[in-house]
Amino acid sequence: MRETREVRAVEPLMETMDEELDGLGVSDAMSGILENGRLTVESLAETGRIPVEDDIFLVAHEMSAPTPPHRHDFVEMVYVLKGRVINRVDGKELYLPQGVMCLMGRDSEHMLDVDDPEAVVCNVCMRDGLLAQPSFVRFLEGDNLVGRFVRGETGGSYLVLTDIDNRAIKMSMSALINAYAANGYRESFDVEARTMLLLVALSNARTYTSHGADAHVMEMLDYAEEHASTITVGELARTFGYNESYLSQYIKRATGKRASQFIIDAKLKHACELLKEGDMPSERIAHEVGYKSYSRFHQVFKERFGVTPREWREGSRYE
Angle at the Cα of 188 from the Cα atoms of 185 and 193, rounded to 5 degrees: 115
Average pLDDT over residues 11-29: 54
- Looking at CATH, the fold of the domain delimited by 215-316 is given as Arc Repressor Mutant, subunit A (1.10.10)
CA distance 304 to 75: 29
- 270-309 tens-digit pLDDT: 999 899 887 899 999 999 999 999 999 999 999 888 889 9
Across-strand partners of 58?
A: 124
The residues, ordered by sequence, that sit 6+ positions from 282 with a Cβ below 8 Å of its Cβ are: 275, 294, 297, 298, 309, 310, 313
Query: What does the DSSP 8-state code read for residue 117?
Result: T
Q: What share of the chain is helix, strand, coil (3-state, %, to 5)?
A: 50, 20, 35
CA distance 118 to 253: 29
Across-strand partners of 101?
A: 79, 161
Break the chain into its structural domains and give their ranges: 5-209, 215-316
Dihedral, CA of residue 177, residue 102, residue 73 and residue 143, to nearest 10: 100
User: For the ranges 40-54, 70-84, 156-170, which has the lowest average pLDDT?
Assistant: 40-54
* pTM (2 d.p.): 0.77
Report the Cα 92 to chain-centroid distance in Å: 17
CA distance 221 to 266: 6
Provide the edge-to-edge strand list for the sheet that holds 34-35.
34-35, 38-39, 71-72
Residue 1 exposure: Cα atoms within 13 Å on the Cβ side = 15
- 63-84 tens-digit pLDDT: 888 887 888 888 999 999 888 8
Neighbours of 314 (CB within 10 A): 12
User: Is residue 98 within 8 Å of 82, Cβ to Cβ?
Assistant: yes
pLDDT of residue 4: 64
In angstroms, the Cα distances linking 241 to 234, 235, 247, 255 are 10, 10, 9, 19
- 219-250 tens-digit pLDDT: 999 999 899 999 999 999 999 999 999 999 99
Q: How large a percentage of the chain has pLDDT more than 90?
A: 44
* 5-209: CATH class: mainly beta
